[in-house]
């Protein structure tokens, strides 16, 4: 036995109490207890309940660098602060984020009870490592968001954009929301009340372009507290595909503060801005609100996911109200069934489509997967979940043994890839679709795609409608058992 072990044991040993000692102790203590006033409570030191601090990653960048988050508090109003979108040239915003994190780690009680604040020190770790404004393939992440969802058209996404100092370049990306970093950020913002995107170095604060009162209120509050100039609009040129505009279109209060200096972090000023935004949460951090589509109510977070990932064109309209069960909510749409799970550990998978494609193939084509697997795969590039690739040459998916090519691959890429549709679970084959016409179809875990040669489009089969129909049919025919 080691000496430390002996010591540890000794520390926890109860001293021996003789019965005689116990009786004397009662005689001494009893009079004291009797003269204490009724209702007397021992003084408990006033320690506030610990504010939770969590660290996690959203996922990895195109070059496999982690995108980390530090989250403080557990309030309903989620404020997301994003640093360093523009990599190396705006590294001072990364320094600022590290200082803010150190501050709020030391003083977590500064976060109001109704707020939880998430710090993302860099959303562009590749650009920071490569000393580039862009991501690893030359896309400006702050020009790549789908900003076509608000009511303004001037700021819509476009591949050719104004960048730093107004220089026009082809850096909007191949299509809106193409970059993995942006999709992770969007998934994390689904339940956000506010978002602050830190940049440098124009020395002003501006809100989302389209009229959005909470964004304007947040920009005014931040600018005044941080002693920066407030501008209703970015004055130098039109920003297409900006993060603040995407967030604003989702009902998230969104602003872009630009530091004055290209090198200094201006910590005190930005700390004051963030503190003011949190303290005035009633004006600056609105709770996400439920919406109505086609006369049917949709919970706020489901509505944001549905809209961000293609809305009616991809999922179809809701077929009925959402159904709540414990910590989850399910809503069925014509082409999909969306599942919101508050207990989900992965912060980017709060909403996921359910695997209706897999259920359908098991019900209607039970032998399809086996007979089709591993056909013509020699020489095809192997699909990898990360990093994102642009090639539209066929991809082979080792996990399911299937190949994705042509129009189906393009559609899958452009509308959210595996996160929305899952992996392919069949090859292309001809099958009669829901409109009674034989068409080329492709099965995925969450959906079925069909090719329409009339106009060259790919559309989803109405799996949500078909699933709901079968469930209702089942529910009405199975009555109470009669013996």
Q: For binding to Zn ion (CB under 5 A), which residues are involved?
A: 86, 199
Smaller CB separation from Zn ion, 256 or 467: 256
Q: Give the dihedral sign, CA 175/212/203/258.
A: negative
Q: How far apart are CA 184 and CA 409, in angstroms?
A: 21
Query: Contact, 447 vs 460, CB < 8 A?
Result: yes
Angle in degrees, 0-180, between the axes of helices 267-279 and 91-106, rounded to the nearest 10: 60
Tell me whether residue 116 or residue 199 sits nearer to Zn ion (CB atom).
199
Place of tokens 């998430």: 118
- Which residue's CB is nearer to Zn ion, number 86 or number 413? 86
Q: Which is nearer to Zn ion, 169 or 344 (CB)?
A: 169
Between the CA atoms of 61, 421, 314 and 438, what dihedral angle is there, to the nearest 10 degrees? 140
**Phi, then psi, of 353 in degrees rounded to 5:** -75, 145
Q: Are 250 and 189 in contact (CB under 8 A)?
A: yes
Backbone angles phi, psi at 428, to 5 degrees: -70, 140
Alpha helices in 81-235 (DSSP H): 91-106, 125-129, 180-189, 213-226
Beta carbon of residue 85, minimum distance to Zn ion (angstroms, whole number):
6
Helix, strand and coil in the chain, % to nearest 5: 35, 20, 45
DSSP state of 336: -
Task: Give the tokens for residue 394.
Answer: 């066929």
Q: From the CB of 439, what's the least distance to Zn ion, in Å? A: 46
Residue 408 in contact with residue 386, Cβ under 8 Å? no
Shortest CB 458 distance to Zn ion, Å: 36
Nearest approach in angstroms of CB 133 to Zn ion is: 7
Nearer Cβ to Zn ion (197/412):
197
Question: Which stretches within 170-266 are classed as H helix?
Answer: 180-189, 213-226, 243-249
CB of 258 to Zn ion, least distance (A): 7
Q: How far apart are alpha carbons 179 and 157 in whole angstroms?
A: 13
Question: Of 183 and 199, which CB lies nearer to Zn ion in the complex structure?
Answer: 199
CB of 149 to Zn ion, least distance (A): 22
Q: Which is nearer to Zn ion, 123 or 301 (CB)?
A: 123
Would you say 86 or 307 has its CB closer to Zn ion? 86
CB of 321 to Zn ion, least distance (A): 42
Q: Which helix or strand (DSSP H or E) is residue 27 part of? A: helix 19-35
401 Cβ neighbours under 8 A, 6+ residues apart: 369, 373, 374
Closer by beta carbon to Zn ion, 86 or else 358 = 86
Tell the smallest beta-carbon distance from residue 202 to Zn ion (Å): 9
d(CA 255, CA 252): 10
Q: Which lies closer to Zn ion via its Cβ, residue 134 or residue 451?
A: 134
Cβ proximity to Zn ion: between 166 and 379 the closer is 166
d(CA 270, CA 228): 9
In the numeric block, which tokens belong to residue 149? 């969802």
Tell me which H or E stretch contains 28.
helix 19-35
Structure tokens at 142: 């702050």
Q: From the CB of 453, what's the least distance to Zn ion, in Å?
A: 45
Tokens of 287: 């709770």
* Min dist. Cβ of residue 268 to Zn ion (A): 21
Pick between residue 72 and residue 80 the one whose CB is nearest to Zn ion.
80
Residue 411: its H or E element: helix 406-414
Tell me the closest approach of the beta carbon of residue 112 to Zn ion, in angstroms: 29
Q: What is the DSSP letter of 2?
A: -
Distances (CA, A) of 355 to 304, 326, 444: 20, 20, 8
Distance CA 393, CA 395 (A): 6
CB of 199 to Zn ion, least distance (A): 3
């Amino acid at each position: 036995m080691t000496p430390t072990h002996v010591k540890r044991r000794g520390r926890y040993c109860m001293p021996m109490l003789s019965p005689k000692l116990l009786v004397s102790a009662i005689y001494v203590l009893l009079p004291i207890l009797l003269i204490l006033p009724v209702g007397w409570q021992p003084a408990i030191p006033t320690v506030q309940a610990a504010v939770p601090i969590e660290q996690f990653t959203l996922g990895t960048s195109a070059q496999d660098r982690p995108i980390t988050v530090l989250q403080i508090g557990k309030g309903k109003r989620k404020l997301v602060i994003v640093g360093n979108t523009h990599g190396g040239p705006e590294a001072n915003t990364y320094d600022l984020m590290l200082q803010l994190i150190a501050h709020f780690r030391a003083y977590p009680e500064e976060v109001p009870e109704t707020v939880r604040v998430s710090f993302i020190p860099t959303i562009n770790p590749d650009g920071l490592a490569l000393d580039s404004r862009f991501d690893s393939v030359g896309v400006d992440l702050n020009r790549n968001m789908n900003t076509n969802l608000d009511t303004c058209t001037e700021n819509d996404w476009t591949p050719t954009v104004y960048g730093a100092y107004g220089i026009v370049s082809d850096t909007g990306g191949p299509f809106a929301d193409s970059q993995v970093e942006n999709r992770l950020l969007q998934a994390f913002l689904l339940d956000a009340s506010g978002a602050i995107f830190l940049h440098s170095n124009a020395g002003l604060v501006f809100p989302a372009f389209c009229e959005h009162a909470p964004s304007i209120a947040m920009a005014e509050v931040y600018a005044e507290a941080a002693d920066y100039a407030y501008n209703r609009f970015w004055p130098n040129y039109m920003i297409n595909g900006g993060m603040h505009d995407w967030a604003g279109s989702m009902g998230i209060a969104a602003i872009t503060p630009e530091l004055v200096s290209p090198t200094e972090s201006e910590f005190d000023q930005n700390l004051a801005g963030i503190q003011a935004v949190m303290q005035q949460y009633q004006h600056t951090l609105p709770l996400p609100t439920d919406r109505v589509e086609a006369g049917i109510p949709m919970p706020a977070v489901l509505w944001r996911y549905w809209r961000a990932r293609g809305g009616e064109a991809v999922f179809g309209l809701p077929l009925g109200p959402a159904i709540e069960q414990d910590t989850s909510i399910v809503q069925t749409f014509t082409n999909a069934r969306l599942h919101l799970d508050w207990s989900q550990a992965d912060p980017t998978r709060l909403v996921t489509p359910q695997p209706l494609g897999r259920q359908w193939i098991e019900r209607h084509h039970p032998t399809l997967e086996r007979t089709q697997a591993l056909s013509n795969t020699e020489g095809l590039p192997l699909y990898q979940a990360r990093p994102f690739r642009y090639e539209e040459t066929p991809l082979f998916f080792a996990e399911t043994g299937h190949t994705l090519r042509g129009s189906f691959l393009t559609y899958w890429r452009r509308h959210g890839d595996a996160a929305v549709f899952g992996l392919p679970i069949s090859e292309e084959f001809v099958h009669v679709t829901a409109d009674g016409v034989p068409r080329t179809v492709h099965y995925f875990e969450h959906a079925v795609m069909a090719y329409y040669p009339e106009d060259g489009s790919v559309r989803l089969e109405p799996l949500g409608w078909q699933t709901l129909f079968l469930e209702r049919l089942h529910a009405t025919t199975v009555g109470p058992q009669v013996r």
